[in-house]
Structure 1
Amino acid sequence: MIDYNGVEIYWTGHDGYRIIGTDDKNRKKTVYIDPFQLSSGHHNKNDADLVLISHNHFDHMSLEDLRHVINKQTTIVAARECIEQLKLLEFKESKGVKPDDKLSIHDIPLEIVYAYNTNKKFHPKDDGKVGFVFTMNGQRMYHAGDTDIIPEMESVKPDIAFVPVSGTYVMTAKEAAQAVNEIIKPKRLVIPMHYGSIVGNEKDAENFRDLVSTCETKILERE
């Protein structure tokens, strides 16, 4: 975990995060992103105010893991392709979203952005898989989802970015560093993800860190 300007960021593995910060009314909120293969330390927390799900692949939308984080007041914001499966769970409400949507959930501003492959078939642009931009503690955070380098990244302008680095299904470490240095340009911090579970390993994260030159890079320990 790192505490970055008042935002607690826990990497739960793969593309998953538990983020604790304040909303636009300075109230404490807990956000989960793509929880998958949660460690026992995260079991039965059921503390999510908001859950973000980028797409319906099993390593991003895991009903088993969602049951450990949701409660009757949780809102789940997910790519539209996820909504039918989410009906098997008990929580407050779900919102199916697509790229370019903007909304506010629990006083957390959200922008839905594109996430897709340009040179492989796993995440077609037309499928509506997504990334997220959200603001906590006044910091604009970008979870890129499963993506290659895409032109839509240029308009995000985040303070903190989470980017995939494993290759195979997403950007390689070299491509991800290029995206950060030339297109995304986070103002403060970038964190590598999408390794150590399905594909990729810590060496990918280290290679990425060594190639990023425009902002601070943090490799988190899985919790």
Structure 2
Amino acid sequence: MKERDTYDTPAGPLVIAPIHHATFVMEWSGETIYCDPVGDPARFADFAAPTLIILTHHHGDHLELETLGAVIGEDTQIIAPRIVYDQLPEDMVVRTTLMANGETTEWHGITIRAVAMYNTTPDRQKYHEKGVGNGYLFDFSGTVVYLASDTEPTQEMDQLGKIDIAFFPMNLPYTMTPDQVLTCIEKTAPRYVYPFHYRFPFDKPGKEPSDLTALMPKGSNTEIVERDWY
């Protein structure tokens, strides 16, 4: 059984289950949302077929067409940016909503906004260019989850509004140092933060969630949720 965390929302519990690296599942009000599902489909054996699949960008640790084909259900819908949409087979395209940075959609009572994700450090900008991939804000009846995806601190983070739960990546050279994640926390002030995407290769330890916890100011209103993603 995958580890699950449960958070109260005005419309019932939101369950979050880390799966691996950048992949996780959210369950809320009868909906099952897979975020960047990759790897062995057996990882999802504990969950219902997804009613929604969220795809952030095209890199192989976020997008695997074989995995998508294995986990997709009869009624599954998909949300994706253009760079992913253009790689999907026709049977997936017809069930996909295309979203660009800044766009918003409503889906089964959930407001979803696509947010820019990109590198800002000059020698890292080649990894994630602005306008290519999406992070996402999910509003579950007033409880807001921010999936930052592969990014560094950006000016767009200053305008996101209230955030309850955030997922921030933490590995070099592709995303952020723990100090940069701390900057993101200062910009967005979430109640809970999941450091994820913190190893690549997956079997080579780098900065761990505990490194971020150690940086947090005493008395901070943000709690670091340390989970084993590998």
Aligned counterpart for 1:150 among listed residues 143, 149, 154: 154
TM-score, structure 2 normalization:
0.85
Q: Which residue of 1 aligns with 2:19?
A: 12
Q: Which residue of 2 aligns with 1:25?
A: none
Contact 1:83 1:96 in 2 (8 A): yes
Q: Which residue of 1 aligns with 2:128?
A: 123
Q: Which residue of 2 aligns with 1:189?
A: 192
Q: Which amino acid is the alignment partner of residue 118 of structure 1? A: T
Q: Deviations over 1:103-145 (max 9, x none)?
A: 012222101100000111100114x211000122531000001
Matched, 1:162 2:167: yes
Contact 1:12 1:36 in 2 (8 A): no
**Percent of paired sites with the same residue:** 28
Aligned counterpart for 2:53 among listed residues 51, 54, 68: 51
Q: Which residue of 2 aligns with 1:70?
A: 72
List gaps (5 residues or longer) in structure 2.
none
**Aligned partners of 2:56, 2:74: CA distance in 1, in Å?**
21
SS at 1:103's partner residue? strand
Q: Which amino acid is the alignment partner of residue 189 of structure 2? A: K
Answer 1 or 2: higher relative contact order, Cα 8 Å, separation at least 6.
Answer: 1
Decide whether aligned partners of structure 1 residues 79 and 198 sit closer, same or farther in structure 2, where only a CA change above 3 A counts: farther
Q: Which amino acid is the alignment partner of residue 221 of structure 1? A: D
Q: CA deviation at 1:220?
A: 1.9
Q: Which residue of 2 aligns with 1:30?
A: 32
Matched, 1:21 2:28: yes
Q: Which amino acid is the alignment partner of residue 172 of structure 2? A: G
**Aligned partners of 2:151, 2:173: CA distance in 1, in Å?**
11
TM-score, structure 1 normalization:
0.87
Aligned counterpart for 2:145 among listed residues 141, 162, 186: 141
Q: CA deviation at 1:40?
A: 2.4
Q: CA deviation at 1:31?
A: 0.7
